[in-house]
Amino acid sequence: MNEYREIGSVCIALHLRRAARHVGRIYDEALRPAGINNGQFSLMAMLAAKDDWTMQELADSLGLDQSSLSAAVKPLMRRDLIVQEAGTDDARVRRLRLTPAGRRLLDRARPLWRTAQRRAEELLEDHQPDAVRSALRALG
């Protein structure tokens, strides 16, 4: 018997990344008319939910490496959807904000997100979406 047949069926990293790729494509496709992808939508939705994030706080909330966030904000800043402003008290920190244009784009994107969200929940019909979210929170 082949020792490696098992791995494809039990490896948590493989299952997670495969699912993340597929679901990410669902959201990306739904969001395409708004001109952003699912990662950019998540980032901007965080900014809309709570102002005054530092880079590190936001990176932690997204489960991202600090340097990955540093790269991810660049395309959004180039399009003037978000801005980074220097902290007043501590000159090292950078605070992120949505611009008015970013907020408008996000509002246009929200119904598209909801469509994708519905489709993803349908895939989880027989698997208790809340239990799955809870498990994913434990992993992330």
Among 10, 91, 138, 139, binds DNA (CB under 7 A): 91
Per rule CB under 8 A, is residue 32 in the interface with a second copy?
no
Told to check if 70 binds DNA by CB under 7 A, we report yes
Put residue 135 in one of left, alpha, beta given phi > 0 → left and psi -120 to 50 → alpha: alpha
Does residue 97 belong to the site contacting DNA (CB under 7 A)? Answer: no
Kindly state whether residue 99 participates in binding DNA, applying the rule CB under 7 A. no
Residues near DNA (CB under 7 A) are 17, 21, 24-25, 28-29, 37, 39-40, 54-57, 63-68, 70-73, 75, 78, 84, 87, 90-95
